[in-house]
Amino acid sequence: MKTMHETALEAIGLIPAERRFRPQDAAAITEHRDLLLSIEPDLIKGFYDTLYAHPPTAQVLGIDERPSREETLSGWWRRTVNGPLDEDYFAWMAMVGLVHVVRNVTNPMMLPMVEFVSSTATAKIHASAMPPDAAADLVDAVRRLCATVASIITYGYDQAVVSALYSVAGMPEGLLRRLRDQEVESELAKSRTELGLAAR
Ligand code: HEM
């Protein structure tokens, strides 16, 4: 299995260059740090009210876990806004993918919550007294950051699952990948039939 730094850099390298998180995005976040830090109470409450109101996510979290989970998310938000948003930070996000695998936090649970973080922050930015150009730059920075975090967590998650399967199967990766592709090709053909789409 690759290191978390390698996994994070690989994920970032796969993001189209035009949509990557850039140094000017980190600068915009630092410049408006106080505004972004001020959303923490709404962010934490909204995040866990949402997850605890939904049985599948509430079950993942457990009834007694809310205080420690809130602390984790507060710590994440402060570390994110205060920076530095460097390789160590993104390697940590790759590790979060692994943490989520072992806690059964699936990507359909995780991705809409990244969107929740992004939209909570952007609503606060739009409601602020910032000049429109600066607000637009900051919104773009937050969106790029959230997209990068989501990409790395999901990539780390997928890589961990694949790597665990390779290791359990004890087969060379190349062979397993070919077998996987054959299986998925056959599932794809069935799916096309299920959806009434022409075979290709
Ligand atoms: C914006 C999306 C999310 C982010 C950024 C995020 C971030 C994190 C971080 C930073 C950790 C701690 C990793 C460490 O030990 O250093 C963590 C752990 C965890 N997260 Fe997430 N998470 C997200 C979404 C979710 C969702 C949607 C759930 C549940 C449905 C969830 C459940 C958990 C659980 C159960 C742990 C493990 C706690 C433990 O056993 O130590 N997370 N997450």
Q: Which two tokens stand for residue 12?
A: 């970032």
Domain 4-169: CATH architecture, name and number where available: Orthogonal Bundle (1.10)
36 phi and psi angles, rounded to 5 deg? -70, -40
pTM as predicted: 0.95
- Asked which of 37-46, 66-75, 155-164 is least confident by mean pLDDT, the reply is 155-164
Please write the tens of the pLDDT for every residue from 7-16: 999 999 999 9
User: Is 72 touching ligand 1 by the criterion CB < 6 Å?
Assistant: yes
- Ligand 1 atom with least separation from CA of 117: 1
- Ligand 1 atom with least separation from CA of 57: 30
Please write the tens of the pLDDT for every residue from 102-157: 999 999 999 999 999 999 999 999 999 999 999 999 999 999 999 999 999 999 99
User: Distances from the Cα of 51 to the Cαs of 69, 117, 154, in angstroms?
Assistant: 11, 13, 19
Q: 65, 73, 118: which to mutate for ligand 1, most atoms within 8 A of CB?
A: 73
Would you kindly state where each structural domain of the chain is located, as residue ranges? 4-169, 174-200
Which of helix, strand or coil describes residue 130? Answer: coil
Ligand 1 atom 10: the closest Cα is on which residue?
Answer: 76
CA 76 to ligand 1 centroid distance, Å: 9
Give the integer Cα–Cα distance in Å for 116 and 93: 17
The DSSP secondary structure of 99-111, one letter per residue, reads: HHHHTT--HHHHH
Is the CB of residue 119 less than 8 Å from the CB of residue 139? no
- pLDDT for 167 beyond 90: no
